[in-house]
Each structure stands twice: as C-alpha cells, then as structure tokens.
Structure 1
Amino acid sequence: MNNALLAANTAGYTMPPLWRILTKSGYFTGLCGAIGATVTYATTVRPALRAARTDAAGDVAVLRHRSARFLAWSGVLLLVTGYLQLAARVARAGKGTPFGDALAPHRIWQFLRAPAAKGAWIPQGTVYLAQNLVLVLTAATLVALFAPAARRRLDALAGAALPLSLGTTLVAAVPATRPKNTDAVVDLALDQVHIVSGTVWLGGLALLVALAAARGRLGDAAGPLWADLWRRFSLVAMVCVGAVVVSGLWLSWRHVGAVDQLWTTGYGAALLVKLLLVLGLVAAGAVNQFWLTPRIAQTRRANDTASLLHLTLRHFPKVVWGEVALGLGVLGVMPFLTGSARTEAHSAHAASSAAVFSAGAALALALAVSLYATVKASDALARRPAATATV
C-alpha cells in the first residue's frame, strides 16, 4: 500500500537531467565562493587581522595573501559556473534545445535579447543580461587579486566585490511580471534571504578552512589571532542559521502540505535529505559553540600557547571540514528540489493568512531568543575555570 502511494505521488516528479544537476550545484557553489568569501572577509577576517598583536605581523601577511588567492579563485569559479548556469537557462527555455547547443554564444545572445512575454514589464532575458553583467564585474574584481599589485589593495577590492556578489543573485530575482499576490512577493524575498544566508554560511566555512590549511607557515602567535577569527565567524554563522531556518520554514510550508509528503513525494524526499544535512550542520555548529569556543576562550585566558594552537588550528578546523562536507551535500541535493510536494500529492496550494504570519513572527522571535540564549550560555561556559579546558 505504501509503495503504491509513493509511486502515485511521485508520478508527477521529474528527475532533473545530469547537466541540470551539475550546473545548478556548480552555480550555487560559485555563489558560496563569491558571496560567502567576501562577506566573511569583511566581517571576520579583516577585523581580526587588524586587531592582531604586533608579534603576529608575519601571520597576518600569510593570511592576507591566502585570502587574496582564495577570493581570486572564487572569481574564476563564479565566472565558469555562471556561464554554465546561463547555458542551462537557455536549454530549459528552448524547446528541446540540447545543453551542448545551448553553450553556443549566439544561442545565449538570442535568449538574452528575446522580446518580453505578454504581460511582462521587462523581457526575462534582459533581467538575466543585467545579472550576468554584474556577475562578470564581480568575477573581474576578484580575479584581479591574482596580480601582486592588486593584492596590496585587498581590502578595497574585497569591499567592492561584496555588494557586486550580492547583486549577482538579487538582480536575477527581479520579476519580469508583476507578482500575483503577497505570498509571491514573500516567496521572492525569503528565497533570496535563504540563498544569501546559506552562501555566506557555507562560503565562510570554506574560506576559513582554506586559511587554516596554512598553519604550517604560522608562528606561535597565531593562536590568539585564530581564536578571534573563530569567535567572530561564530556570530556571523549564528545570524545565518537564524535566517536560513526562518526562510526555510516558509519555503517548506509553501511546497509541502503535510509531514508525510516528506517521504511520499519526490520533492519531499529531496527536501528531507536537505533538512537532515542542515541539521548536521547545526549540530556541528552547536559543538563549536558549546564545547570548542568556550575551551578556546579558557585556554586563551590561561595563556596556554600550545593548547590554544592545537584547538584553533588542529581541532576546530577538523569540525569545520565536516561542516564543509555537509554543505557540499546540501549543494548537491538542491537541483532535485523541483516542482512541489503539494502538486505531486494533489493537495491544496498554500495560502497565507494573518494567523500564518502571526505564527511565523512568533517562531522567528522564539528562534531569536534561543540564539541569544545560546550566545549567553557559550559565554558562561567560557568564564568557567580554565582547569576545565583540558584539550
């Protein structure tokens, strides 16, 4: 009976082709590199490097150089994945256009210059043209950091690339036609919140593990510097977690009408896998917040240089590498989130109401309170006697 129900419900689910899986996952990986790295550099790396002790000048130079290289390669990745994503849009828009043919520049140009559809205030191709112009400008700004002369202006170039990288996704979200109702507007807004917060979270983790890989070139004074880096990013990640959860709850409610649709529909099964991966990310973050971060603070206060280096550059990065692996899993499952579980299960479409928005606001407030309590609990653990900070 259950097998028959699953077969019936998933009959409306279309498995994406391989090129669609690779291009979509690749594109969001590119966004993680561009958005996540620039935001993390601005909010975490640059402030920590500026606040570093004078005896860590050599470590600061190493991390600045490595940050510049990471950002430059992020620009290359964004440019390549952005082009492939644009070709994928052409293949999806055309009737039976093979992906290989969609890679041709003249087909892409035809797609971008197509006239507006009936009722549209702007051609969809024009929106994508504007988006990709921003994407190219973002990539060029980042790729410039390969040049030694440009690396001396790392802060300025990273700062310029930050709003441009955000524009890469925000411009693409501009609707070519007027949204049908308030729910459609909320969908657009929270979808971008979900993308930006998720890419900052995952891209920031990737940047920090890349920087931690330079530990062999760092001195004993790197411990306090890295303690500050992890502390700053923990706050950034916590904000991202809150934004991902709030936006994800809305988007999940819009596409899933009942809990059992998570395992009786194709869309629901893909979403369930994504939810489990995100829960794993949150669990790893909780380990950092309640176990590693307090011990780093205690060890730093005790001036235990050897233990501090071990925690910040050996132990902590291992946990973060696990988070990066889970994040890659999230990116890998995203292309399978096509259609809607509600449609597959033939259930009613989601429609908001004052009660729905009130419940959402209450959940968001409860989440904010819980995150605040998490920070306070972590601070309280950090203030415990240093004897508990055994590595």
Structure 2
Amino acid sequence: MASSGPFPPASLLAGQQPSTPLGPFVDSAVAWTTWVTLMGFVGVTALALLAVGPPARRIGADTLAAVTARLARTAVVLGLLAVPAVLTDLAHGASPDGGADYGAAWNLLYDGSNAGRLSGLEVTLVLAGAVLLAPLTVRRVAAGPLRGWLLGAGLGAGAVALGTTKFPDAVPDDWGRTSFETVMWMLHLLGGGIWLGGLAGLALLTVPGAISPADRGAFWSPAIRRFSAAAMSCVTAIALSGLFLYWEHVDGLSQLFSTMYGRVLGVKILLFGSLLLLGVFNQFWLHPRVDALRAGGDERPLRTLLVREFPVVVTLEALLGMTLLFVAPFLHGSARNQAFQADAAKHSSVPVDALPKISDKAVSASTWVWGSAETVLVVAVMVAGYLASGALARRRAARTAVADTTPGDLVDA
C-alpha cells in the first residue's frame, strides 16, 4: 500500500541527493495497528460467511454455532480495537509535536470537510460492524436464522470503513483516472483483508474447542477448498492492482534499487512472494493431502502429520501477512518522484520541499493493451492453478480410497 507524505524540510546544495527517509517508526506502528484491525475485521467476517459456514452447517448446528461464535468474537474485538487505532492515527497526525492530540482528532470527525466525513464514516462503520456481529458471539444466536444477515451486514460495514481510507477527499480533476485508482485500491485492500484476515481466522479455528475431533475430516477438506477459491481470487485482485500501482509509481526495475520507495517496495514484494510460495505449498501439497485424509478416514497415520503441519503453515502465513502490513506504511511518495527530484537536485540548490515534482504518467493505448494482457494472464494462471490442484486432490483421494480396499499396510498406502 502506498501513501503520500511530504519530504522533511532541509537545505540542499547542488550536486547532493535529496533525503527520502522511511519516516518515524511510531507513524508506521500506528498505521500498522489501523490496517491490522480494519483488514482483520473484514477478513475474519468474510471467512465466517463465505468459507467455513457452509461446511460447518452440513456437519450440524453445534459445529456451526461453535465456529461462528469463535470468529464473531475475534471480529468484534478487532472492530472495537479499530476505533481507538483510527483515533490514535488521527491524533498523531493532528499533534504538532509528534504526540497524540485526541481532542483534535475527535473534532476532526464530521467537521464539515470531506476528509472529516470520511474519517467519521471510518470510525462509525467499523463500530457499527462490531455491534452487528456482537449477537453472534452467543452460540444460540450464532446458528440461528439471523446469522447470514448479521455477517453480511457486518462485512459490508467493515468493507466500506476500510474503503474510506482511500476514497478521494476532494473533487478530482480527472474523474476517470481517480475512479480507476480508487477501484484498484479497493481491490488491493479488500483482497488483502479477506486473504490475510482469513488466514488468521483459520489459524484460530485450528485451536481445539471449535471443531470436535470426529468432525475435523468432514470440516477441513471443504472449508479449505472454499477458502482456497476465495484466496486465489484475492491474490488475483492484489496482483492486478499491485501491477497498476507499480506502473503508476515506478519507472523501471532500476528504481527498485536506486530509490527508498523502490527498496521498501522490494521488501514488500519479497514478503508477498513468500506468501505465494506458502500458498502454492498449501494448494498443491497440503490441501490434496487433506482430501486424501478425508477419503482414507481419520485413523490413518497421515492425520497426525497434517494436524501438526496445517496450523504451523497457516500461522506462518498469517505472521508473514502482518509483517507485510507493517512494511507497507513505510512507502512514501513514489519511486518516480524520488528519482526525478534526485536528478533535479544535481542542478539546483533549492530546499527539498521546493524541488519540482514529476507529473503523473499519461495513459496511452499501449497502456490498456499491456494492462489487458496482464489481466488475462494473471487470471488464467490463477484459474489453472486452482483447477490443477483440485484435480490433484481428486486423484489422490481416489488412490487412497482404492488403497483402503486393498489388503496391506495402511502406512504404505
């Protein structure tokens, strides 16, 4: 995620490079808390509604109630924590000495400006989402008829609250470009929230108490496949929006090494790549093994291996995702502008904040051609990967079923 921010004022002699610092650690820590709570709320709620609810319902009302109540409690806590996190972010920005002026932050909400309305909606909607999910923390309600409505309404409120962080706060000069940028940011944020928050929710469900040992085989196989479909869609959204943001902020691979923005973005890309590799491991090894386990029965020795490995892998993915969110707030400005100002500084002695800024990239016909080609390629790769892993899971499950009907050692089978 990229965010704009001014360079620190300083005098600059001709021939020197302008400073592009990472920014204060406290700023990034406060921003990280806001992102984790908002995106976590959206992801955990989406997991309960889209991925784990249907398989839990097929097992029985008790399992559905236990799974929903655990995830709802987590989402409510995240939603409530998001309110002070957002206010702290505002208070930190409103304080002239780098502290936290909560009185000024409170006055910013609905102060008549567009920025104030967006901040007010952010706080109000995430709090409303937590209130909507609060009844589902009670198991008797969690399996009732209101479950889907409350989860859907809470997810909608949380998604809009997350979206307010990137909605434009002024009338744009170019409605088309601004609208497209906003859509890209929504794909980036919602995709990341559903994917990373869902991973955290899955990790919580692996803790004993939500699903009885006898029902784990019937629950985890369809739940994982449903979450995999959602995760693949989220990865597609993140990849496509990330390609657009890269095109918008970076001119060539060299700027990944020559600018501070590029180096931070490079770290973010490495973390994202590590998450993808773990996802590939899950998709092509762990998930098919879970399906094979289900076909073979819970008494197979493979069960112990998977029960140990699945929580570790999912927890590792969730921690990597939280690390990625911590790195993201360090992105300031753009690599294009930093490289442009570094070059301009060689021929100027003006202060850093007085250096000219590079204009936005112009969209041409080739931009749409390359963008469309990238979209088709990314979607095709994700769909092919999901279908291939599904076919692999079915083949392994079929082989396991055949092996179970053949006399011999189950471990060899």
Give the structure 2 partner of residue 82 of structure 1.
Answer: 86
Does residue 171 of the first structure (1) align with residue 164 of the second (2)?
yes
- For 1:43 and 1:318, the matched residues in 2 are separated by 23
Q: What's the counterpart of residue 44 of structure 1? A: 51
**Deviations 1:305-359, CA, capped at 9 Å, x for gaps:** 4456436533222111111111011011011011111111108542221211211
Which one-letter code corresponds to 2:312 in the other structure? K
Q: Match of 1:133?
A: 124
Aligned match of 2:273: 279
- Supply the RMSD in Å over aligned alpha carbons: 2.7
Q: Which runs of 5+ in 2 are unaligned?
A: 1-14, 342-357, 404-409
Asked whether the equivalents of residues 206 and 324 of structure 1 are also in contact (C-alpha less than 8 Å), the reply is: yes
* Identity score, percent: 30
What is the letter of the counterpart of residue 157 of structure 1? L
| CA shift digits 1:238-289 (9 cap, x unpaired) | 0000000000010011111121111211111111000000000000000011
Q: Which residue of 2 aligns with 1:162?
A: 155
What CA distance in whole angstroms lies between the structure 2 residues aligned with 1:389 and 1:368?
Answer: 39
Query: How far has the Cα of 1:184 moved from its partner?
Result: 3.0
Distance change (3 Å), C-alpha of 1:298 and 1:25: same
Asked if the contact 2:262/2:335 (under 8 Å) is kept, the reply is yes
Partner of residue 198 from structure 2, selected from 201, 204, 213:
204
> Contact 1:82–1:132 (CA<8 Å) still a contact in 2?
yes
Greater mean deviation of Cα atoms: 152-161 or 368-377? 152-161
Residue 103 (str. 1) matches residue 102 (str. 2): yes
Q: Is the CA contact 1:71–1:145 (under 8 Å) kept in the aligned structure 2?
A: no
Deviates more, 1:206-215 or 1:144-153: 144-153
| Aligned counterparts of 2:68 and 2:130: Cα–Cα separation in 1 | 19
Task: Say whether the 8 Å CA contact 2:293–2:300 is kept in structure 1.
Answer: no
TM-score (normalizing by structure 2): 0.81
Alignment partner, residue 62 of structure 1: 66
Q: Which moved more, 1:241-250 or 1:12-21?
A: 12-21
Using a 3 Å threshold, how does the CA distance of structure 1 residues 133 and 69 change in structure 2: closer, same or farther? closer
Per-residue CA distance 1:130-162 (angstroms, 9 max, x = gap)? 332222212333345556676565444322211
Q: Deviations over 1:17-36 (max 9, x none)?
A: 23311111011101122110
311 and 31 in structure 1: CA distance in 2 versus 1, 3 angstrom threshold: farther
Q: 222-231 or 295-304, which moves further after superposition? A: 295-304
Q: Determine whether 1:329 maps to 2:333.
A: no
- Matched with 1:239 is 233
Deviation at 1:8, TM superposition (A): 5.9
The unaligned stretches of length 5 or more in structure 1 are: 1-6, 117-122
Q: Paired residue for 2:184?
A: 190
The structure number with the bigger radius of gyration is 2
Between Structure 1 and Structure 2, which shows a larger proportion of helix residues? 1
Alignment of 1:3-22 (within 5 A): 11-22=18-29
- The change in CA–CA distance for 1:311 and 1:358 in structure 2 (over 3 A counts) is farther
Question: How many residue pairs align between the two structures?
Answer: 368
Alignment of 1:192-341 (within 5 A): 192-214=186-208, 218-307=212-301, 309-310=303-304, 313-341=307-335
